[in-house]
A and B are shown apart, each in its own frame.
Chain A
Amino acid sequence: MFRGPAVPANQIHDFHPPIAPSGLYWVVPVPERGLTISPDGNTFTLEMQNVPVVDQPRWPALDSIATPARMTFKMVWKSTGEPVRYEDPSKHFRFIGTRASCQLEAQVEVPSVGFSWKSDSLNTSKSDFAVIGEEVNGRYYDS
């Protein structure tokens, strides 16, 4: 979140899960029924409530203080139908899918500092890049 233009100096909050000891980066499991995919595979809807996260306003500074917070959000991807294929044999990954639109609504809460925030409705947001599809990597790349 930014007060003013989206530049590092104006950042006042940054919400994400902690980096796992394994190195998994801001990745958390999605509970059952958190992700729904339309029968035609063209719409992904991800909804999660009260996800434990941290607020690190000075991220990515190493000494950035992490304050416990909670995040609730809904995110919807919709395929545009434009096919894309990303593959790099040296990195052992292959993605085949389509471009997509993506919109987000969210609310966050930092109880210890009495801060909360709620976004406007889903249809008021937009992302400049989105894709949906299928990927194989690592040990599954050559199989």
Chain B
Amino acid sequence: MGSVGMGMVENSKWGRALRWPPSRRNATICCRSRWRGYYAREVISLIEGASMDPLTDSRRRHSRRDILKSSALAIFPLAVRSGNSSLLDQQAMTANGGTDPYPIPWLDKNGSHNQPAGANLEPSHIYHFKGRVARCSTFTGVGTDNQGNRIAFGSPTTDYGVMQGEFWGARAAQQGVFTHI
């Protein structure tokens, strides 16, 4: 596949380059190579000053502006393909989603995934999980701030949990430890 640039025609298949302004010999080489398609006809047209194709005989002679325009347009698709090639050249990777654990799906009644702690309630905050769990709630305690004020902490909704074990993420079993605080 050749590429058409300003003042130069390269054809890597044949390893030849034609420079502008062309010599008669260059034009001959181009024709003998049986290079088919638009670019070939365009190059021949540019070199000879007139098309060899009867269908395009009515085309006017090309000005330098036309040459610059056609050269730029010819480069454009090649530049795009070059960008795609750089993506294709990247290292192969999987696309299996993240390894973060799943939230508990059926808790989303209020647009959130929190759940209270208590008897007969699920302790884990991770779905597709098996492992050790600890859960607690309804803390009471007190502490001191940096101004010396005694401030209580804890309420019926002050809850914590920890989960250690296997969970499902990125379409595979994962191991981890997580806490709900």
Contact = CB atoms under 8 A, between A and B. Distances in A.
Contact of B143 (A12, A19, A120): A120
A95 B123 contact: yes
B120 A115 contact: no
B122 A86 contact: yes
Contacts of B46: none
Contact of B134 (A115, A120, A132): A132
A137 B120 contact: no
Contact of A26 (B138, B168, B181): B181
Given A91-B122, A138-B168, 12 more contacts: A20-B103, A37-B132, A44-B132, A77-B134, A88-B122, A102-B160, A116-B146, A127-B136, A127-B138, A130-B135, A130-B137, A135-B129
A91 B106 contact: yes
Contacts of A6: 152, 154-156
Nearest to A4: B152
A55 B160 CA distance: 16
Interface string A26-56: 1111100011010001001010100101000
Interface of B: 98, 100-104, 106-108, 112-115, 117-146, 151-156, 160, 162-164, 166, 168, 176-181
Interface string A88-113: 10010101010010101111000000
A75 B100 CA distance: 24
B141 A120 contact: yes
Contacts of B180: 25-27
Nearest to A46: B162
13 contacts: A23-B108, A41-B132, A48-B179, A53-B181, A88-B120, A88-B122, A91-B122, A106-B153, A117-B146, A133-B123, A134-B132, A135-B163, A137-B129
Contact of B151 (A12, A24, A97, A137): A12
A112 to B, nearest CB: 14
Given A73-B181, A128-B138, A136-B130, A3 B151 contact: yes
A24 B131 contact: no
